[in-house]
Structure 1
Amino acid sequence: MNLTFQDYISIKIHKTDLVLTNFIKLKLEPFNLAPEQNLIMMLLWEKDGLTQNHIGEKLDKDKTNIARMASSLEKKGFIKRSHCLDDRRSVKLYLTPCGEKLGEEIKPLIEEFNEVVCKGFSNEELIELERLLLKMKKNVQIHL
């Protein structure tokens, strides 16, 4: 079977991801927040004081990536980093008042974004989509 460029599911997913990323980038731009940085902020708005390691695990990102993004968020005044008292190698991230205020503005945008992305999908379809994406992820991970 000869597949064309348009036939590859990975290409379709990549193109969709580009559209999603560009859309959210546009929404976050006025707040001086990149989509990747927003993922860290979303985790902190859910539970403040997470370690960089925990955030890395949640986002499937390496320590260097998380440290770089955390440094940028700290420079912007959205978070502060603090070494854990019981383990000096471990760093926790805490929202600043500015970061908390940012959440009040960003969370409605993220909910609106999610509504746009999921429009027309039934709950069952969303569950199935999540199952299929996880299956694809696992298929690839066994080859890493």
Structure 2
Amino acid sequence: MAFHKERSAGFLANQMARLFAKGLHERIRPLGLAPAQFMTLLALWDEDGLAQSELVQRLDVEQATMANTLTRMERDGLIERRANPDDGRSQAIHLTPRAKALRDPATAAARAQNEAALADFTDEERQTFLALMRRAISAMHGD
């Protein structure tokens, strides 16, 4: 049987993820943010003061990638590193006032991208679509 990419969940998921990422990047670029910075900010907006190792684990990225992202974020005035009160060998990553001020416009940009992607769906279709995606993710995680 021939391989049809239009029938491949992997191909379609990858194409959709690329289009989501491209659209989000275009929406957050005017805020001075890159996608990796946005994902890091999401984690820190949820819980400020995480260690770099905790960010690596939560975002499922390589240690070197996170180190580069944090260096850029520090340069851009989004984060500051402070001694971790619980572990003197590590540093806690804290949001600056600039990063805190970006929370509403950046999350609004993400909501707008999601809305654009799901604009042609009914409410019921949205719920079904999201539930099916969660099930596929869970199946691949082995949860």
TM range (shorter): 0.7 to 0.9
State the partner residue of 2:93.
Answer: 93
State the partner residue of 2:84.
Answer: 84
Deviations 1:57-103 (A, max 9, x none): 11111221111101101100011112314423322111101111111
- Three-state SS of the structure 2 residue aligned to 1:3 is coil
Aligned equivalents of 1:27, 1:12: Cα separation in 2 = 22
Amino acid corresponding to residue 126 of structure 1 in structure 2: L
Q: Using a 3 Å threshold, how does the CA distance of structure 1 residues 33 and 128 change in structure 2: closer, same or farther? A: same
For normalisation by structure 1, the TM-score amounts to 0.83
State the partner residue of 1:70.
Answer: 70
Aligned equivalents of 1:128, 1:8: Cα separation in 2 = 15
Aligned equivalents of 2:116, 2:141: Cα separation in 1 = 24
Q: Using a 3 Å threshold, how does the CA distance of structure 1 residues 21 and 47 change in structure 2: closer, same or farther? A: same
Could you list the runs of 5+ residues in structure 2 that have no partner in the other structure? Answer: none
Alignment size in residue pairs: 139
Q: Using a 3 Å threshold, how does the CA distance of structure 1 residues 20 and 132 change in structure 2: closer, same or farther? A: same
Q: Using a 3 Å threshold, how does the CA distance of structure 1 residues 118 and 4 change in structure 2: closer, same or farther? A: closer
Q: Deviation above 6 Å: which 4+ runs of structure 1?
A: none
* Pairs within 5 Å for 1:1-144: 1-119=1-119, 120=121, 121-138=125-142
Amino acid corresponding to residue 96 of structure 1 in structure 2: T
Aligned equivalents of 1:116, 1:137: Cα separation in 2 = 28
Identity %: 23
Aligned equivalents of 1:50, 1:102: Cα separation in 2 = 18
Report the alpha carbon displacement of residue 6 of structure 1 after superposing the two structures with TM. 4.4
| Higher normalized contact order (CA 8 Å, seq sep 6+, divided by chain length) | 2
- Three-state SS of the structure 1 residue aligned to 2:82 is strand
Amino acid corresponding to residue 41 of structure 1 in structure 2: L
Aligned equivalents of 2:93, 2:114: Cα separation in 1 = 25
For normalisation by structure 2, the TM-score amounts to 0.84
Aligned equivalents of 1:32, 1:54: Cα separation in 2 = 24
Could you list the runs of 5+ residues in structure 1 that have no partner in the other structure? Answer: 139-144
